[in-house]
Structure 1
């Protein structure tokens, strides 16, 4: 698995997960339950990982969906 992005925006994360699901790209969200540890203030970003072989495809998918600005530099 390879990190695609980090975000505190759970709405954005949900939208990206829907895009990845529709494209058949396997993914995993890490740190989504850390809000319990931080007091539910949303300080710690969630990490979205995709399968290593699908990383480039996922970046293209998000760029084409107008979400390229959310991606870190490669």
Structure 2
């Protein structure tokens, strides 16, 4: 798995996942349940990951849509 986006905004996370789903790229949200630890304050970003073989295509889809993904070194 390779992280292609990081965000604390659940709406943006859903949008990015939908963009990738439309391109036929499956995603996994990592750190989805961290809110139980942080108390729901939204301080920790959720990570959107794709299979390693889909990473380059996923990053291209995000760039084409004007989204850098917010992943360290990914875009």
TM-score, structure 2 normalization: 0.88
- Count of paired positions: 74
With over 3 angstroms needed to count, the CA separation of the structure-2 counterparts of 1:69 and 1:50, relative to structure 1, is closer
Pair 1:32 & 2:15 matched: no
1:71 Cα deviation from its structure 2 partner: 4.4
Provide the aligned C-alpha RMSD in A: 1.4
Unaligned runs of 5+ in 1: none
Paired position in structure 2 for 1:70:
70
After TM superposition, the runs of 4+ consecutive aligned structure 1 residues lying more than 2 A away are 68-74
Establish whether residue 13 from structure 1 lines up as the match of residue 38 from structure 2. no
Structure holding more helix per residue: 1
Mind listing any 5+ residue stretches in structure 2 that lack a counterpart? Answer: none
TM-score, normalised with respect to structure 1: 0.89
